[in-house]
Amino acid sequence: MAASCKLSTVAFLLLFTRVLSFPVGHEKKETTTCGYQSCDTTKPTMLNVHLVPHTHDDVGWLKTVDQYFYGDRNDIQHAGVQYILDSVVDQLLKNPERRFIYVETGFFYRWWKQQSAGMQQTVKQLVNEGRLEFVNGGWCMSDEATTHYSAVIDQMTIGLRFLNETFGICGRPRVAWHIDPFGHAREHASIFAQMGYDGFFFGRLDYQDRSCRMKAKEQELLWRASDSLTPPMADLFTGILPNGYNPPEGFCWDQLCSDAPIRDDPDLEDYNVDDVVQRFLRAAKSQALVYKTNHIIMTMGSDFQYENANLWYKNLDKLIRYVNAQQANGSNVNVLYSTPSCYLQELHRANLTWALKTDDFFPYADNAHNFWTGYFTSRPALKRYERISNSNLQSCNQLEVLGGPVSRKGLFGQGDSETLRKAMAVAQHHDAVSGTEKQHVANDYAKRLAKGWQHCQVLVSNSLASLTGSSAERIYCDNLNVSVCPLTESSKKFSVSVYNPLGRTVTWPVRLPVNGTKYGVTDAQGKSVDCQVLPVSRATQEVRRSRGFARNELVFQVQAPPLGYSTYSVSMLKDQPSPFSPQRGAPTVIRNKFLQVTFDPDTGLLTGLSNLETKRTIKLTQNFYWYYASDGNSYESQQTSGAYIFRPNSSTPVMVNSKARVESFQNSVVQEVRQWFTPWVSQVVRLYADSKAVELEWTVGPVPVHDGQGKEVITRLDTSIKTSEFFYTDSNGREVLQRKKDFRPTWQLKQTEPIAGNYYPINSRAFIKDDMDQLTVVTDRSQGGASIYNGSLEIMLHRRLLYDDFRGVGEALDESSEIFPDGLVVRGRLLLSLEPPASAADTHRPLAQEVVWQPLLSLTDGDPSPNTRLEFSGLQASLPPAVHLLTLSQWDDESVLLRLEHQFQSWESKVSSQPVTVNLQKLFSTLDVLGFSELNLSANQWKDEMRRFDWSPEKEEKPLLKIFEDPSVWEITLRPMEIRTFLLRVTFK
């Protein structure tokens, strides 16, 4: 009896939670005819042409997001989003047949806030009738090559939540719409499928791929976007639009266009209705030849169009009327206002089978010498800052939950996570983290992230004050990568709080700029911690310029509990000058208990890497090179290298230096070899005592261009691994895809750019392997990479270019700043691990998570007060190794959003690629979970109510959705690569 009574109580709590926290707001029972119900009737015996009025509004590109919204700086580009929405709503009200779709919720949200209650009600009515439809629905249209999956999920969640809470079920997009991103990632398709989208449309794909698909009528396909999730869980119907996202040639009627309007007064001599109708019929029939059904779609709009929507709609009304009038004369073409979801519904009704795709759409080329692979690395400093900001945001979100309401309004004032959350959402835009914006816009993105972090710092300080019981002011040192931190440089006694956002205990090296020569460090239990002092390197002194004055760095390893912090106390013991005596020249070997790294004493360069546990050794050499960038003076093509496009003028890169000047330091905490190649390239090879990875900290810049030639700087690892032209890269930080030189899985490639055409995006890792060894490189930001030679892996680190590449940005990618007027200096880290292929993921998966969700350091001056709580964990115990806590954030006053994911693919680990069960009731140490409900990935539908169109692949049975039962009410099971999303009702214990 007791057991069943408990079960009933839990069931009641689940229901109770669900009613009060409904993710689509309060459902009104008013009649709506939105979505698929709003679609007009088509004619089954005719060619139905779906005209989709739309605008593509970049959330920053040539102008900042604010300038685009207000229509400011029209000297740069004529564009004003507020006027577009004003005009479209006005025109929709004039004809109930008219439709419009809108995509970028970040813009719509701004506009909505400025509208009167009457206008808001009018817009709601348009949405309820399906005349204004939201597609995609994220805060922005994210880039697909350089974004991390966690940030993509976050930005989609923000946008979709606003639409749900504002418009209810009619605000929920059915279709994902990525018409402009420059290549398409498999992980994005998987994410969209798990968010409940019925289909996905995009505009750009490789010109050779499109040609093949047009001939085979495979521009509409079924994308199987995971090799681990059971089909059709990550299956997504995908359509490739016919004209990018523009109208057919000759039919653009925006104020930004110059095509002739429809002149339909027969008394005037320039009457052109017959000509327009015949041209349109030809365009429609030509398009129909390369698609599979009797339905085709035409995108009637483009960048920032519809500011004067009357021009478009007046001509579209006429086009529909006059083309359809030809049906009386035997025409079989039927034209109608439509939306992507209405078009998708007709494709679904056709009940056909569709070509199956399992790889991705990278790299993208629009012509033989125009590969869009440069932006994988463009603006490397911004790419790193975005990644750090993501880590800071996750810690901020978690501490908002763990600290309770006082975190938002507490000892240090008012703080919030929303400012950084929205700044991060904007930064995912395909002209933001991609690095393809103008310089002043890149500055604006960085400024927004910095402002968001300032707001989060107050929240984090409030939360930690509550958790520690200490009112001491907290200092955040954001320039530790260049050894700058005013507190540690000047104080003789301070404490370091290390917050760990991961769901397992983490060991992490801390390096602090100091001026003493000997220090004592104690942990939260008062035990002494091994610490060492090293001199600040010459390269660091040069890159920090006048921002700091530390002579030395204090290095020690910290350990922080899961979803918690640990505090370390630091005291200076000696500050008189003590000459450090580095070993000149390279040591022959550095080693810890896991790895051994060997060097050539003559050149100072790496020669080998050994795993001491498996007793496997590979030859490994590493150096820096540059490709000269094409300036367009070529008989083959005038294409230049620029922000988007990578086009070297030779397939052979130039070695920076065949030797490095070297000094080394070896102590009980870290062994490091400092290599100086040229005044603008240096590196430190580090091996920490407890690490299974070798760290390569590279510093590149200012890249010299006094010779008038732009340069693309790479590092290349050459090994004895027999790769057979294969290498592997991750997709948005999650699943790993196999790549092969000069090869595409779905068509016969004619390779015209042997370097750029083999570059792929690396988001968090890449590896090369054979039967015995796998060398994995974990990156600290998104970068481009390739395997041009067998056993080789190259990664592009920095680009400095002198010409625009004619893709619209109108600027050369030549970055400088007040600190670096001679050109940008960039610093980053690569982490190398050597493991047997069968167990490599057990090392690189957690390693990559540590780099993305890195510990957050905060410092306080002096000794902690006596009653300070020096250690805390928000979890009762560490999560299993396969489980990652992806999201913990405040949803409303009483609910939190939780995402747990299985971070291994089904094939990559004997140990970890197994289902894992977690008990939600026993998860948190300070929170009681009263009840929970499961949501879809984007948290805008209940999981058990999510319904998607089913699609049949060619040559296979239609997969049926498999429902897995959880072991008990509170226990949930995660299978490889599965992300599960929950809304928890919680109280503090």
Active site members: 180
Strand duo 47-53 + 295-300: pairing = parallel
CA distances from 850 to 20, 433, 500, 869 (A): 36, 21, 9, 25
Q: Assess whether the previous peptide bond of 653 is cis (omega < 30° from 0).
A: no
Residue 491 contacts by C-beta under 8 Å, 6 or more apart in sequence?
A: 861, 862
The answer to whether the beta carbons of residues 644 and 182 sit under 8 Å apart is yes
> How crowded is residue 740: how many other Cβ atoms within 10 Å of its Cβ?
15
Phi and psi at residue 961, to the nearest 5°: -65, 125
The answer to whether the beta carbons of residues 662 and 604 sit under 8 Å apart is yes
Structure tokens at 165: 């809470």
Cα distance between residue 615 and residue 613, in whole Å:
6
**At residue 454, what is the residue type?**
Q
Cα distance between residue 698 and residue 781, in whole Å:
13
> How crowded is residue 356: how many other Cβ atoms within 10 Å of its Cβ?
19
The beta strand positions in 741-882, using DSSP E, are 760-762, 765-769, 774-779, 783-786, 792-800, 826-835, 856-861, 871-873
Strand duo 856-861 + 783-786: pairing = unpaired
Q: List the Cα angle 775/503/697 in 5-degree steps.
A: 40
The beta strand positions in 393-517, using DSSP E, are 409-410, 413-414, 493-500, 506-514
Phi and psi at residue 794, to the nearest 5°: -120, 145
**At residue 954, what is the residue type?**
E
Cα distance between residue 302 and residue 66, in whole Å:
20
Residue 41 contacts by C-beta under 8 Å, 6 or more apart in sequence?
A: none
Of 825, 819, 817, which Cα lies nearest the Cα of 797? 825
Cα distance between residue 43 and residue 49, in whole Å:
10
Structure tokens at 263: 């002149």
Cα-Cα-Cα-Cα dihedral of 371, 376, 378, 380, to 10°?
A: -160
3-state secondary structure of 279: helix
The answer to whether the beta carbons of residues 228 and 208 sit under 8 Å apart is no
